[in-house]
Amino acid sequence: MGLGGKVAIVGSGVIKFGENFHQSLTDMVYEAVTLALADAKVDRAQLQAAWFGCYEPMLYGFEGNSGTFVSDPLNLFPIPVTRVAAYCATGIEAVRNASLAVASGEYDLVLAVGAEKMREVPSRGSLVAQAVNRGHPVLAKGRTAPGMFALLATRYFKEYGANEEALCAVATKNHFHGSLNPKAHFQKEITADQHLKAPKVAEPLGLFDCCPTTDGAAAVVLTRADLAPKFTDRYSVIRGIAYAVTAGYWNTQFDPSWNFTSFRATREAAKVAYAMAGISNPAREIDVAECHDCFTITEIVNYEDLGFAEPGAGWRFVQDGVTRLGGDLPVNTSGGLKSCGHPIGSSGVRMIANIHDQLIGRAGKMQVKDARMGLAHNLGGPGAVSAVAVLSQP
Amino acid sequence: MGLGGKVAIVGSGVIKFGENFHQSLTDMVYEAVTLALADAKVDRAQLQAAWFGCYEPMLYGFEGNSGTFVSDPLNLFPIPVTRVAAYCATGIEAVRNASLAVASGEYDLVLAVGAEKMREVPSRGSLVAQAVNRGHPVLAKGRTAPGMFALLATRYFKEYGANEEALCAVATKNHFHGSLNPKAHFQKEITADQHLKAPKVAEPLGLFDCCPTTDGAAAVVLTRADLAPKFTDRYSVIRGIAYAVTAGYWNTQFDPSWNFTSFRATREAAKVAYAMAGISNPAREIDVAECHDCFTITEIVNYEDLGFAEPGAGWRFVQDGVTRLGGDLPVNTSGGLKSCGHPIGSSGVRMIANIHDQLIGRAGKMQVKDARMGLAHNLGGPGAVSAVAVLSQP
C-alpha cells in the first residue's frame, strides 16, 4: 500500500529562469511542458491528467488561477488539469498530488508543471504591497520575508556561535554552482568580499543572502514505476513525497517547539518522506539535495531540519565544504534559489527535475558522482509549510 | 485498478449559507469541518490529510490561499492540507483529489473542505471589477457571467423553440426546493409571475435566473470503502469522479463542437465518471442530482449534457416536472445554486454532502424516495471546466 516506490519520472523540462519579459505565463508553461514531453518521448495526447502549481496568479493578470492555463496553450483538452497552491511549496505539492493519482491506479501517464510570472508586476502590485495595503495582520507590521528570516539568522548566530561567514559560505557556494547551470537566472560566481560588503536588506542578511525575483517554469512527466521501462531506461523513482503544514511564524502560540532556529514543517515533512523511502540516516543515504535557500540562513537551518547535520552544526557543514560540489553531500548544485531564482510555483518542480537529472547522470558540470538517492525540499509561507521528495535510481 | 468504488463518505457538514458577516473564512471552515467530523464520529487527530477548495482568496484579505487556513483554525498540524482551485468546479476538485489520495492507499482517513467568502467584498474589489481594471482580454469587453450565459439562453431558445417559461420552471422549482432546505441562503418560494416580471440582468435572464452572491462552507470525511463500516453503517460510495478541462467560451477556436447550446466540459466529465461508475443510462440509473444552476438556462443545458435528457429536450423535462421533488429525476433538491447561493469553493462539496444525505436517507423534507444513485455536477470558468461525481449506496 501507499505511494513510496510506485511512481517514476520519465521526463523533465526546465526553461531558462530569469527576467522573461518575452514570455507570458502560458508561454513559459508551453515551453516547459514541451521540453518535458520531448524528453519523455511522449505525445501530449498520451497524457491522462495533469497538475499545475502556480501560487499567485492574481499578481499577473489572472493567468494561472486554474488548469485552463495549462490546457489552453498546449491543447490538452479534455484531460483534467488540477491547480494547486501552497505558498513556496507549490511546486512539490503539484508533483505530490500527481504522484498520489498515479499511485491510485486511475492514471498511467500524467504531467506536473509549475510556473510563476514574477518580474512583470509593478511594486505596488506585489504580494507584499497588496497584503500591506489590505491590512494583513502580520505583513502590514513589516514582517516581510527578509525581516522574518533575518530573525532566524540573528537567533541562530546567538544560539550556535555562527556568524556572517556561514551565510557567505552558502552564497558563494550557490553562486559557484549557479555558474555551472545554463538554466539559472544568475550564472556568475561572487567573492566572499562581494558578499560581505553588499548592502544590507534586513540585518544580518545582505543582498547576496536573498534569492532574486524571477520568472520560470518546469515540468515532469510521471508514470507508474512498473511502466517506466516502456518509456525509457533512464528514469528515477519517487521513493517518498510528503507535505506538512504547521504553525510557523504567524501562529507561534500553537507551536511550543518554535525557537527561531528550526522549522517544524521541514522536520515533519522529512520524517514522513524518509519513512516512505525507508531512509534512517539521511546524511549517509542521500547523495545530492536541492533545498529551499530563499535566504542563505534558510539553507543552513534546512541541513539540520532535514537531518543532514545535527542541530547547531549546519553552519560548520557549509563552511567545511561538505555541501559544495565535490563534498560529501552536495546541496543546491543547480545554484539553488540563490542563483536560479524562485518563481514560486515552479521551484519545487525545477528542484525535482534537477535531482532527476543527477540520478540519470545528465547533470553536466553539476553532476554529482554516483548520485543514487536525491532529495528536493521546499519551505513555504510563514515557515508553516514544507514539502520533501526523495528520489532514487530505479 | 482505479478509483471507482474504492472511496466512501462517512460524514459531512454544511454550514448555513448566506450573508455570513459574523464569520470569517476560517470561522466558516472551522464550523463545516467540525460538523463533518462530529457526523463521522472521528476526532480531528485521526485525519491523515486534507484537501481545501477555495477559488479566490485574494478577494478576501488573502484568507484561503493555502492549506494553512484549514490547519490553523482546527489545529490540524502537521498533516498535509492541499489547496486546489478550479473556477466554479473547485469543490468537486477538492473531493476528487482527496479521493485519488485515498485510493492510492497512502491515507485511510482524509477531509475535503470547500469555502468561499464572497459578501464581504466591495464592488470594486470583485473578481470581475479587478479583471476589468487590469484589462482582462474577455471580461474587460463585458462578457461577464450573466452576459455569457444570456447568449446560451438566446441561442438555446432559437434552436429548440423554448422560451422564458422554461427558465421560470427552473427558478420556481429550485426556490420551492430551497424553501425546504434549512441551510439554503434563500428559503422561500417564488411565483411564476414574480419570475417573469423581475428586472432583467442580461436579456433574457432576469433577477431570478441568476444565483446570488453568498458565503458558505462544506466538508466531507472520506475513507477507503472497505474501512467505512468501521466508522458507520450509513455511508455512501464514490463510484466515479472526474474533472474535464475544455476550451469553453474564451477559446472557441479550439472547439469545433461549440454551438452555445451545450458544454463539452460537462459531456467529457460525465463520460469519464459514468465509465468509472459503470453507468450506461444515466437518466434511468441516477435517482437524484445536484447540478450547476448558476443561471436557470445552465440547469436545462446540464440535463442534456449529463445525459438526463436528449439534446433540445431539457426544457420540456423541467416544464413537465420530471426534475421536481416527486418527479422521476429530482434535480437540485437542495434548492441548487439558485437558493443555496454559490460560494465558489464550497458549492461542489455542498452538493456532494447533499447527495450523501439523500443516499443515507437523511435529507429531511428534500428526501427522494429510494435514492440509491446520485450525481453532483459543477460547471466552471468560461464554460471550460466541469466536474462530475457519482455516488451510490454501498
Dump pLDDT digits (tens) for B342-387.
999 999 999 999 999 999 999 999 999 999 999 999 999 888 999 9
Of the residues B175, B185, B292, B342, only one is catalytic, namely B342
User: Confidence class of residue B145 from pLDDT cuts 50, 70 and 90?
Assistant: confident
pLDDT for res A131 = 66
B238 touches chain A (CB under 8 A): no
Question: How far away is chain B from the Cα of A156, in angstroms, using its nearest Cα?
Answer: 24
B224 and B256 fall within a common domain: no
B183 and B204 fall within a common domain: yes
B188 and B250 fall within a common domain: yes
> Rounded to whole angstroms, how far apart are CA atoms B204 and B165?
11
Which distant-in-sequence residues (6+ apart) come within 8 Å of B308 by Cβ? Answer: B282, B283, B286, B289, B302, B314, B317, B323, B329, B331
A31 and A84 fall within a common domain: yes
Q: Which helix (H) or strand (E) holds A300?
A: helix A296-305
Candidates A212, A152, A217; CA nearest to A186 is A212
Question: How far away is chain A from the Cα of B77, in angstroms, using its nearest Cα?
Answer: 5
In single-letter form, the type of residue at position A50 comes to: A
User: Confidence class of residue B61 from pLDDT cuts 50, 70 and 90?
Assistant: low
A198 and A94 fall within a common domain: no
If DSSP codes are grouped into helix, strand and coil, which group holds residue B290? strand
Shortest CB distance from A80 goes to which of B67, B242, B255? B242
User: Confidence class of residue A123 from pLDDT cuts 50, 70 and 90?
Assistant: low
If DSSP codes are grouped into helix, strand and coil, which group holds residue B388? strand
Q: Chain A 135-174, CB below 8 Å of chain B: which residues?
A: 135-136
B118 and B176 fall within a common domain: no
Q: What mean pLDDT, rounded, does chain A reach?
A: 94
A298 and A152 fall within a common domain: yes
A192 and A224 fall within a common domain: no
Interchain CB distance below 8 Å, A245 and B77: yes
B199 touches chain A (CB under 8 A): no
> Rounded to whole angstroms, how far apart are CA atoms B334 and B346?
14
Which distant-in-sequence residues (6+ apart) come within 8 Å of B15 by Cβ? Answer: B23, B28, B31, B32, B35, B183, B216, B217, B218
Interchain CB distance below 8 Å, B248 and A68: yes
Torsion sign (Cα): A291, A294, A296, A297: negative
B39 and B106 fall within a common domain: yes
CA B337 to chain CA mean position, Å: 8
In a domain, residue A347? The reply is yes
Of B199, B231, B263, at which residue does a domain stop?
Answer: B231
**B7 touches B222 (CB < 8 A):** yes
CA A294 to chain CA mean position, Å: 9
Domain ranges, residue B305: 141-212+239-392
Q: Which helix (H) or strand (E) holds A241?
A: strand A236-245
Which distant-in-sequence residues (6+ apart) come within 8 Å of A17 by Cβ? Answer: A183, A184, A185, A214, A215, A216, A340, A341, A343, A346, A350
> Rounded to whole angstroms, how far apart are CA atoms A144 and A129?
10
Catalytic sites of A, residue numbers:
88, 342
Average pLDDT of the residues in B110-139: 76
What pTM, to 2 d.p., does this model score? Answer: 0.97
Interchain CB distance below 8 Å, B106 and A100: yes
In a domain, residue A1? The reply is no
A68 touches chain B (CB under 8 A): yes
Domain count, chain A: 2
Q: Which helix (H) or strand (E) holds B114?
A: strand B109-116
Q: Chain B 239-268, CB below 8 Å of chain A: which residues?
A: 242-248, 251, 254-255, 264-265, 268
DSSP β-ladder status, B236-245 and B385-392: antiparallel
Of A199, A231, A263, at which residue does a domain stop?
Answer: A231
pLDDT digits (tens, 9 = 90+) for A325-334: 999 999 999 9
Specify the higher pLDDT residue, A143 or A324: A324
What is the residue whose three cell numbers read 509561507? A381
Candidates B83, B85, B135; CA nearest to B111 is B83
B44: CATH: 3.40.47.10
In a domain, residue B134? The reply is no
A275 and A289 fall within a common domain: yes
Give this complex's ipTM: 0.96
A60 and A161 fall within a common domain: no
In a domain, residue B373? The reply is yes
Chain B CB contacts of A239 under 8 Å are none
Best mutation target, A54, A75, A227, A245, to test chain B (most B CBs within 10 A): A245
B106 touches chain A (CB under 8 A): yes
In a domain, residue B133? The reply is no
B225 and B202 fall within a common domain: no
Q: Hey, what's the cell of A233?
A: 531506461
Where b means 16+ CB within 10 Å and e means fewer, A114-153 reads bbbbbbbbeeeeebeebbbeeebeebeeebbbbebbbebb
Specify the higher pLDDT residue, B58 or A100: A100
Residue B314: CA count within 13 A, CB half-sphere = 24
In a domain, residue A134? The reply is no
- Residue B228 burial (10 A CB sphere; 0-12, 13-18, 19+): buried
In a domain, residue B192? The reply is yes
User: Confidence class of residue A139 from pLDDT cuts 50, 70 and 90?
Assistant: low
How big is the A-B interface in CB pairs under 8 Å?
180
Tell me: pLDDT of B126 over 90.
no
pLDDT for res B56 = 84
Of B168, B197, B231, at which residue does a domain stop?
Answer: B231
Where b means 16+ CB within 10 Å and e means fewer, A198-231 reads beebbebbbebbbbbebbbbbbbbbbbbeebeeb
Candidates B43, B51, B6; CA nearest to B346 is B51
In single-letter form, the type of residue at position B99 comes to: S
pLDDT digits (tens, 9 = 90+) for B89-98: 999 999 999 9
Tell me: pLDDT of B135 over 70.
no
Query: From the CB of residue A105, how many other CB atoms can be counted at a distance below 10 Å?
Result: 17
